[in-house]
Chain A
C-alpha cells in the first residue's frame, strides 16, 4: 500500500491560518523586538504622512478661500489690472490673470466695479488704506508709523467666517475702532486705550480676527466712511482699492464674470470658485512647489524608506535566526516550505499592518494638531487641515512592503536549508562572502564623489548660477547621503569584525562584549545602522532648509506682484504695500504667514 503524499485541498489556507496564529503568539512573546520593529516602520510612515499633510494643509482649497475671502456673501467685485479687453481671470484666484495680448488698447476703458454690480444684491464695501500712527509719548521723540487699515463693516452677518470678534465689543460710536491682536502688541495698547492717527484719534474697543491675515499683523478695522478714503496714502496704491461684496441669493455665473473681465473687472464668485468651469491654473498643484524642494522631498522620502527597509530587515533577521530551530521543528512535524515561510511573513504582515496604520494615524493626527493649534493661535499659515491621501497611502504601502520583504528574505533562508541541520544547530548558515564589504566600499567612494560634487557646485559661481543649480545640488547631496548610509550599513559588519578581531589582550568584560558583538553581528549591525541612518536623515533634511527660499513656497503669482523669495519686512512694521502681495491674496505668502 503506497502512501498518499498529495497536498490536501485548501491546505494552503489552512496552514496560513496556523501561521498567523503562531506569528501572533510570537509577537506577544517577544514584545520588545515587536515594539522595535513597529517603531522602526511607524516613525517614517508617520513622518511622511505628517509632512505631506502639513504641506497640503498650507494649500488653500477653493472652499476655504471662499469662506475666508467672501464670508457668506455671494461674490466680490474689484478692478482688474488690464490693458485691453482680452484679459481673463482665474475662476478661483481672481487676481491671477491671463492674456495672450499685451498691447495697450487706447480705447479700453475699464469700468468702475461699483457700476457693474447687477441689480438685486445688497452691497458691502471693503477698502484698504494706510493710516499713520504717531507713537511715543511726546511729539518730539515720537515717529510716524504707517499701518494697514480696512474700512469695512466687519461684523455684518454676511461676513461670518471672514471676520471674527475675538475680544471686546463691536465699535459703535464714530471714534471707536476694532484692531487686530497684533496691533495691540505693536503699539503697546490695551482695549479701551486710544490710538492717535493722522486721521483722528480712535478708542480701541475690541480685537478682530481677519481670516486672511495672521493675528500678529497690525491692522486697524474702521467702518466705511470713518476715515478719509481719499487720503494721499490711498491714492494710486493697490491698498487704496475698494472691493464690493454682493449679498443676495442669486449666484454670480462664469459667463457674467467673463463679460465683466472684458470691462476690466475681476470677480470672486462663490458658485464659480466652488465649481470652477475651467481648470484653475492658480490653484494648488505640484507646480506650486519649488523644484528644489520637490526633488529634496522625494529624496528624503527615499532615504526614509531606505531606513525603514534596512532596520526592519535587520530586526527581522535577528528574529528569524532565533526562530530557526522553532521553524525547523515545524518542518520536521510536516510543514511544507510555504507554511514555514508564512509563519515569519505573517509576523511581518501583522507588525507591518499595525505599524503603518498607527504611523498614518499618528502622522495625520499630529499634523491635524499642528494645524489646529496654529489656526487657534491666529496664524493663517495653514488655511485648513488637508490629508494628502496619495503620499499617505504610498508611505503605508512602502512601509508594508519594506516589512514584507524584510520578513520574507530571512524566512526563505530558513525554509531552504536542511531540516536536520537547522534542528541541530539552531542557526541559519552564514552564507555571506566578502561581497558586502566590496559593494559597501564602492558605494562609499560613489557617495563621497556625489557629496563633493554637490558641495562644489553649491558653492561656486554667482548667485543666479547657483540658484539654477539648486535641484541638481539637492539631488547630489541627498543622493550622496542615501548612498553613504547604504555603504556604511554594508560596511558595518566588516568594521565590527576588524574592531573585535584582536581581543586577547582586552580585560575580560571588554573581551566578552567584543566577542558577543562579533558573534551576533546580525544584532550589532542594525543598532549601528539605526544611528547612521538617523544621523544621515537628519543632515539630509537640513539641505532643503538651508536653501535661499527657506523651503517656503513661492507662488507664481506672487512672483509677479512682488519680488519672489524676499520675505516682506512688513510683518513687524505693518503695511506690506512696498513689496508684499496685493490684498486679497491667498495667505501663506509674503509676510502674512507668521503668527508670532
Chain B
C-alpha cells in the first residue's frame, strides 16, 4: 500500500443493521458511512437507543451488518469465517464493553493477557505486556486480583488495559467511563489519547461532553443515522439536546 494520505483503519460503507423481522423489526443503524484513520480519536455521541453500541459491535466484528460492508485494516469482514473473524478480533481490535467485561475465572493480568495468549504469545511474555498495560491505566498492583475482588472502576480499567495491550490499531470503547470518578475518567481519556497519538484508531462512545472534548472528531447518531460530524468540538452539549 502507498503511504500517501492517512491510513484507514476502520471503514463502514452503507452499513445497516436491522434486528428482528417483519412488524417487530428494529433498524438500529441505517446507511452509516464512517471512516476512522490511524492516529485518529473519534467520539460517538447520541441518545440512548440510537445505535451507538450496535455501531461499535459491527466495527469490532462482533456482529454482521444486514447490508453494507465493514473493513478493518482494509480487510473486508464479510469475507471472513467465524474463526478468522475471531483471530481478527484478537489481533486488530481492542474492545471495552459497556458492562460485564472480565472473565471471572481469570485474574486481572490474565484477562489483559487473554488476546495475546489466544494468539500464541508465550504466557510469560504475555504476562509482562499485561502488567505494562495495567500500569498504563494506573492499577499495576491489581494484577493478581480476580473480578469479584475489584471495584467496578477497577474492572473497567482492566478492560481498557486489555483493549490497549499488544499492537492492536483499532480500539473501540463503549462508555468505558460510566463507572469511573472524574479523576480516573480523566486518566482513561489520557490513555486513549496517547494510544491515538501513537497511531491507533480510537472510537469512543460517551455521553459526556468533557470526554468528547478529548476527541479529534465527534460523530453524532440519532435513530441509527449519523446526523452531524463536528471536526472541531465547540459545544457538544447542543447535540445532546432532544431533537426539535
Residue of B nearest to A22 (CB): B105
Verify if A498 is at the interface (C-beta below 8 Å from B): no
Verify if A332 is at the interface (C-beta below 8 Å from B): yes
What residues on B are CB-neighbors of A5 within 8 Å? 75, 80, 84-85, 87-88, 91
Instruction: Write the B120-163 contact mask toward A (1 if CB under 8 angstroms, else 0).
Output: 10000000000000000000000000000000000000000010
Verify if A1 is at the interface (C-beta below 8 Å from B): yes
Do residues B119 and A337 form an inter-chain contact, with CB atoms below 8 A? Answer: no
User: Which stretch (B93-101, B194-202, B206-214) binds chain A?
Assistant: B93-101
Do residues B95 and A15 form an inter-chain contact, with CB atoms below 8 A? Answer: no
Instruction: Write the A325-351 contact mask toward B (1 if CB under 8 angstroms, else 0).
Output: 110011111111111000000000000
With an 8 Å Cβ cutoff, the count of chain A residues facing the other chain is: 36
User: Which stretch (B110-118, B185-193, B232-240) binds chain A?
Assistant: B110-118
What residues on A are CB-neighbors of B84 within 8 Å? 5
The distance in angstroms between the C-alpha atoms of A338 and B86, with both chains bound, is 11
Do residues A420 and B62 form an inter-chain contact, with CB atoms below 8 A? Answer: yes
Shortest Cβ gap from B43 to chain A (Å): 22
Verify if B90 is at the interface (C-beta below 8 Å from A): yes
Shortest Cβ gap from B112 to chain A (Å): 10
User: Which stretch (A6-14, A120-128, A364-372, A560-568) binds chain B?
Assistant: A6-14
Task: Report the number of A-B residue pairs with Cβ-Cβ less than 8 Å.
Answer: 105
Interface residues of B in 61-112 (CB under 8 A from A): 62-63, 72-75, 80, 82-92, 95, 97, 100-106
Verify if B1 is at the interface (C-beta below 8 Å from A): yes
With an 8 Å Cβ cutoff, the count of chain B residues facing the other chain is: 38
Verify if A423 is at the interface (C-beta below 8 Å from B): yes
With A29-B104, A331-B86, A334-B86 known as contacts, the answer to whether A3 contacts B118 (CB < 8 A) is no
Residue of A nearest to B120 (CB): A8
Interface residues of A in 1-60 (CB under 8 A from B): 1-11, 14-15, 18, 22, 25-26, 29
Residue of B nearest to A26 (CB): B105
With A2-B74, A18-B117, A29-B104 known as contacts, the answer to whether A332 contacts B95 (CB < 8 A) is yes
Verify if B57 is at the interface (C-beta below 8 Å from A): yes
The distance in angstroms between the C-alpha atoms of A136 and B82, with both chains bound, is 92
What residues on B are CB-neighbors of A3 within 8 Å? 72-75, 88, 91-92
Interface residues of A in 560-587 (CB under 8 A from B): none
Do residues B97 and A334 form an inter-chain contact, with CB atoms below 8 A? Answer: no
Do residues B118 and A333 form an inter-chain contact, with CB atoms below 8 A? Answer: yes
Shortest Cβ gap from A20 to chain B (Å): 12
The distance in angstroms between the C-alpha atoms of A258 and B82, with both chains bound, is 75
Residue of A nearest to B84 (CB): A5
Do residues A22 and B63 form an inter-chain contact, with CB atoms below 8 A? Answer: no
Shortest Cβ gap from A339 to chain B (Å): 7
Shortest Cβ gap from B44 to chain A (Å): 17
Residue of B nearest to A7 (CB): B87
Do residues A332 and B89 form an inter-chain contact, with CB atoms below 8 A? Answer: yes
Do residues B86 and A337 form an inter-chain contact, with CB atoms below 8 A? Answer: yes
The distance in angstroms between the C-alpha atoms of A4 and B120, with both chains bound, is 14
The 5 tightest CB contacts between A and B, nearest first, are A334-B90, A8-B120, A25-B105, A3-B73, A334-B89
Give chain A's interface residues, CB within 8 Å of chain B.
1-11, 14-15, 18, 22, 25-26, 29, 325-326, 329-339, 418-420, 423, 426
Give chain B's interface residues, CB within 8 Å of chain A.
1, 7, 57, 60, 62-63, 72-75, 80, 82-92, 95, 97, 100-106, 114-115, 117-120, 162
